[in-house]
Chain A
Amino acid sequence: MSKSFGAVRALDGVSLRIAPGAFHAILGENGAGKSTLVKCIMGHHRPDSGHLVIDGMRHDIRNPRQAHRLGLGLVYQHFTLVPNMTAAENLVLGQDPLPAVIDWDEARERAEAFQRGMPFRIELDAIVTGLAAGEKQKLEILKQLYLDRRVLMLDEPTSVLTPAEADQILGMLRDIAADGRLSVILITHKLREVLAFAGNVSILRGGRLVGEAKVAEIDEGELTRLMFGQKAVPSAAMRRASKVQPVRLEIRNLTARNDKELIACDRISLAVRGGEILGIAGVAGNGQRELVEVLAAQREPEAGDIRVAGARYRRSRQEMRRYGVFLLTEEPLHNGCVRALSIIDNLAIRNFDSRDHTALGCFLRRKALRAQAIALIERFGIRAPSPDARLDTLSGGNVQRAVLARELSGRVSVLIAQNPCVGLDFAATSEIRARLLAARNGGAAILLFSEDLDELIELADRILVMFEGRIVYETGRDGADRHEIGRHMASRQSWRRES
């Protein structure tokens, strides 16, 4: 199969064979063409050449419905649930043909019965927008299984799941596959998952198939070499002892409501010193998003103060620039960029109006902006067709890199980051972590929200746990005990379930 987007050859003559009951992993760095491959299989993109052979029959798939009828299913990298519908409606929607009139009682009963055989369950009446990212992902997978697919493709399904949830779901898929009822194609950046669950693995690089192996016969080093070629994978970052600096970012008694007008952040107070990374742990949906939105000026707080370098911080553009406040928000494609603008423009959002980039105070100097973009693309290794390409044509990981490039290249004094490494391949992950540490070593105050406990334990100097909008636990780096942190992240939830 081959597919080009303009001058970019996203897929270049890739062939795969998947046996019934196989659990096949696809690995590859950001922009390698993994998503393009599965989208071409599903008929979401028309491949330039290539076709599918199913049970010896050749098929040219033109649209996803045709693929669905052949028993193919895909869990997309970005959610494709309908946001304002209930879980039940989303489950039913995938049916083909949809009944002209839907008997909801019967449909719900069937869905409930189906859920009983699953290791997790989703409230059928919940509206999708109200679900946490992990629950949405489970619903996506549930939906595909509910529809009885023969081949299920999953594009980075575990990036929003905790390791325990990921193991649970992948384990279940492996068991179903072992019965021969289902073949699984898993795209992931986590080698651990490949080694633990997959039978075979294919490696893509630059749109080409560069390796194929049985997982039992290959080791981690070999996989890494195949994924990244000769490029060196950066090693773990260095943490330098820093001297105690004054408080740079302070939040006092901050209260904010979520979109449903319920209290999401409840009198939160915290302080980050220069040269410190303060980690915020917590299961998604406990107010982290709202807190970040308040800090990003995307949401109005109900009460409380934000102070930067001791002064009241009103989150204006001038202040952001004066104090060097930068932000890496979650879901950068929606929150941190303008998807229909070019990469050049997106990289310039922070500073297009600075003196270096304007002439006579009002005209943009496009040449300077282009030069800046080219430099950043080079420095941060963004894989892009051209600096003029629309931002939303980049692969998921490269969108993330573009935002990182913009936010980390300036004079960073305060950095607020939320799940900065989600969706990045592990070379990029360790590179980003190294950059965060470098910023800290350079004296920046960093507030790091993450659902990945390993990331927090690696990076943070102190860790707070956020639960139901409150800070419920604090620990220093040295005393950090992952079980204790985990208990505070989830304890009340499990206690509730038991009672």
Chain B
Amino acid sequence: MTAASELGAWGVLIAVIGGALRVSTPYLFVSLGETLTEKSGRVNLGLEGTLMMGAMSGYGVSLASGSAWFGVFVAGLVGAAFGLLHAALCSLPRVNDIAVGIALFIFGTGLAIYLGKPLIEPVAPSLPAIPLGFWSDVPALRSALEINALLILGIALAPLLHWGLANTRWGLILRTVGDSADAARALGFSVNGVRTAATGLGGFLAGIGGAFLSLFYPGTWNEGLSSGQGLMAVTLVIFARWEPINCIYAALLFGGASALGPALQAAGVTGNYYLYGAAPYILTLLLLIRSSSTRHRLRGAPSELTISK
């Protein structure tokens, strides 16, 4: 046994952790946003499209203005606009949120690719990294711990949302609307208004998640930038039982699974690359099977969700 192969095993682990920290950020933002939306009783499956629009607009604005952070902000606004579009369509009679979501998923992706054509070549200023690995002199570890402020923001946001849902007026109203529209109406809350706000906010967060993709990791704009993260984040919300704090763990787990393929490849394991690349999808499937039951409904699921009715 040589020292090199031993480092290889460590290398894989470090790379997976580093990948988990990097790749998880968009998962985290999208799933936090979707948690808010679903807590109001609506599912927005269009977040994949929102993510792409966020990535494209964030990149474009960063390129034009020279400020990556301004790009992130605009990406959030574009995401919010998509969320509001979803909400507006859903508030029409006889419109189903799942169907609207799928339509916006395809529309958003297509529009982003169309508008983003001129953005493939130029290089926009990207978000700065925070070198958390400064104390180590192992280069692999250093690069693994290069993280972004958005990750910290997301991790801070989760407990804030958790607290807010339990302890604030808006949290209570949001959960009421998501749990029983009848109760909300009897209390005089505007069901549609609350859902619109929650979907808009969910879109805002998903847009920021998209900006992370184009402005930090991988940090370019191209058509295949998102490979279903937006869609899988919806699964992740179920796995996290609609609980913001759990979203952190779920996002890290998914991030780690996504990083498995590249990490193994970097360590020289080239066989079965596509199999490892499929890890997050297999994980999604397994989680869905595990959390299903014929005996009971999903615990914690807002009762107004079309999927739990």
Contact = CB atoms under 8 A, between A and B. Distances in A.
Contacts of B187: 64-65, 68, 80, 93-94
Interface string A44-56: 1000000000000
A174 interface: no
A219 interface: no
A352 interface: no
B296 interface: yes
Contacts of A313: none
Contact of B168 (A66, A89, A101): A101
Contacts of B182: 76, 78, 80
Contacts of B173: 98
Interface string B172-187: 1101100110110111
Contacts of A63: 188
Contacts of A66: 188
Interface residues of A, number: 35
Contact of B295 (A64, A85, A99, A257): A257
Contact of A81 (B169, B183, B294, B302): B183
Given A80-B182, A84-B302, A84-B303, A65 B176 contact: no
A300 interface: yes
Contact of B183 (A80, A97, A259): A80
Given A98-B173, A101-B168, A83 B188 contact: no
A82 B39 CA distance: 13
B179 A82 contact: yes
B297 interface: yes
Contacts of B180: 80-83
Given A82-B175, A84-B302, A104-B167, A44 B186 contact: yes
Contacts of A92: 172
Contacts of A44: 185-186
Given A44-B186, A65-B187, A80-B182, A100 B295 contact: no
A76 B182 CA distance: 10
Given A65-B188, A84-B179, A259 B296 contact: yes
Given A78-B182, A83-B179, A100 B169 contact: yes
Give the size range of B's interface with the partner: 20 to 34
A216 B176 CA distance: 43
A64 B182 CA distance: 12
Given A64-B188, A74-B186, A101 B172 contact: no
Contact of B188 (A68, A85, A101): A68
A493 to B, nearest CB: 26
Contact of A93 (B176, B185, B300): B176
A411 B167 CA distance: 55
A108 interface: no
A322 interface: no
Nearest to B189: A65
Contact of A101 (B169, B294, B296, B302): B169
Contacts of A190: none
Given A64-B187, A66-B188, A259-B297, A85 B169 contact: no
A299 interface: yes
Contacts of A83: 179-180, 303
Interface in A252-278: 257, 259-261
A246 B71 CA distance: 79
A44 B294 CA distance: 37
Q: Which of B173, B175, B297, B302 has the most CB of A within 10 A?
A: B175
A430 B175 CA distance: 42
Given A82-B176, A102-B168, A76 B302 contact: no
Given A82-B175, A82-B180, A100 B168 contact: yes
B274 to A, nearest CB: 39
Q: Which of B172, B296, B297 has the most CB of A within 10 A?
A: B172
Interface in A286-309: 299-300
A76 B303 CA distance: 19
A85 B184 CA distance: 13
Interface in B262-309: 294-297, 300, 302-303
Given A64-B186, A101-B167, A85 B176 contact: yes
Interface of A: 43-44, 63-68, 74, 76, 78, 80-85, 89, 92-94, 96-102, 104, 257, 259-261, 299-300
The 3 closest A-B pairs by CB, nearest first: A65-B188, A64-B188, A80-B186
24 contacts: A44-B186, A63-B188, A66-B188, A80-B180, A80-B186, A81-B180, A84-B179, A84-B303, A85-B176, A85-B179, A94-B187, A97-B169, A98-B172, A100-B169, A101-B167, A101-B168, A101-B169, A102-B172, A257-B295, A259-B295, A259-B297, A260-B296, A299-B295, A300-B295
